[in-house]
Amino acid sequence: MPSWVKNNGLLLVNAGLFAAFFGGMVISGVASYNEDQLAHGEEAVSLLAYVQSGHFAEAVFENWESEFLQMAMYVVLTVFLFQKGSSESKPIGKQAEQDEDPRQAKITAKTPWPVRKGGWILVVYEHSLSGLLVILFLFSILMHAVGGTEAYSEEQLAHGQPGVSLWEFMGTSQFWFESFQNWQSEFLAVAVLVGASVFLRERGSPESKPVAEPHRETGA
């Protein structure tokens, strides 16, 4: 196995799984959409037309928004909050490596450029991970609203009702139901992982404590 593939295997496999499942979503999505179209006496659409539709955009981005919200909140909450005994928590009552001030770090040629540069660039870099996730969340929820507006208006018009604007759709119960049904599942999954990692183990995984580690020990 080439060293580059080995060194980036986790990213590559997850990217590959994303591409495979995304393709499956597109294929099954257009089939489901066309079944509904034909059932209502409408014409079926091509795959290209479907991926440009509000129905597709809404389905994609309502899921993406929940994922990025979950990850952004998790990154931020783990800065301040702890869970005794969990591998997902920083140690309680002692300094963690992640808390070290980069301004006091020894600067070398391998030190990230923003740390070497300092100033406002370093301030931004210190919070760049959560910043990126928040931006992706906001973009996703906007695209969910845009796609949902089109899909909702299409359904309204099919039933002889007027279409809605973006802001009107964001004020509907449907928009918030679609959001909340995804958000709740994301935080349930996080809570299960945080709690279960206190007592359960997965040998070889960095998300687990060592198998023989006592339950009360906090952190990986």
d(CA 120, CA 118): 7
Q: What is the pLDDT of residues 130-158, one digit of tens each?
A: 999 999 999 999 999 999 999 999 889 88
> Tokens in use for 214?
């006592």
**Is residue 7 within a helix (H) or strand (E), and if so which, with residue range?**
helix 3-7
Q: Average of pLDDT values for 192-201?
A: 93
Domain residue ranges in the chain:
1-51, 53-220
pLDDT score recorded for residue 96: 87
Residues 105, 115 contacting (CB under 8 angstroms): yes
Q: CA of 22: how far to CAs of 14, 56, 61, 160, in Å?
A: 12, 11, 12, 34
Residues 165, 149 contacting (CB under 8 angstroms): yes
What's the distance, Cα to Cα, between the start and end of the chain in Å? 29
Going by C-beta distance under 8 Å and a sequence separation of 6 or more, which residues neighbour residue 118? 103
Predicted TM-score (pTM) of the model is: 0.91
Please determine, for residue 220, whether its predicted confidence score (pLDDT) is greater than 70: no
> Tokens in use for 27?
């294929």
Please determine, for residue 2, whether its predicted confidence score (pLDDT) is greater than 90: no
